[in-house]
Amino acid sequence: MATKEKKRQPGWKEMPIGGVNPEAGSAMKYNSGTWRTFKPIWSEDKCIQCYMCWIHCPDSSILIKDGKVAGIDYDHCKGCGLCMSVCPPKVQAIKMEKEEK
């Protein structure tokens, strides 16, 4: 999960040189959810568990619990809307709403 508190950022002597990020999977720590203009709203009642949204989400932001779609990781979802567009037309379990900031 993304860290919420404002940390002191490292000075130039404390950072690896060359802009290298030596830590794998560190995107988890970066809250890209703040970039969102439109927010996907998932409806558990309508969802048929086809996993199309989970397959297509470029930010791995479709949460799965016990093998089932369980919601959206709003810390990392950038609001691209791919999930909404791949959700089958007859299902429409995901709607995009204007983000309230």
Partner 1 sequence: MSKKVLALTGNDAGAYAMKQINPDVVAAYPITPQTSLMEKFAQYVADGVIDTEMVLVESEHSAMSACVGASCAGARVITATSSQGLALMWEVCYIAASYRLPIVMPVVNRALSGPINIHCDHSDAMGARDSGWIQLWAENVQEIYDNMIQAVRIAEDQDVFLPVMVNYDGFIISNAVENITVYADEDVKKFIGEHKSRYTLLDSKNPVTFGTFDLTDYYFEHRRQEAEGMRNAVRVIPKVAKEFTKVFGREYGLLEGYKLSDAEVAIVALGSTAGTVRAAVDLLRAKNIKAGILKIRVFRPFPEEEILSSLKHLKAIAVLDRADALNAIGGPLYNEIRATLYNKSSIPVVNYIYGLGGRDIGIDDINHVYSDALEIAKTGKIKEKVTYLGVRE
Indicate the length of the chain as a whole number: 101
Among 18, 65, 67, 100, binds partner 1 (CB under 8 A): 18
Q: What is the DSSP letter of 37?
A: S
Question: Which residue has 């950022």 as its token pair?
Answer: 9
Q: Does 19 bind partner 1 (CB under 8 A)?
A: yes
Q: Does 7 bind partner 1 (CB under 8 A)?
A: no
d(C-alpha 101, C-alpha 87), whole Å: 26
Among 6, 24, 45, 100, binds partner 1 (CB under 8 A): 24
Query: Using CB under 8 A as the criterion, which residues of the chain lie in contact with partner 1 when the complex forms?
Result: 9-12, 15, 17-22, 24
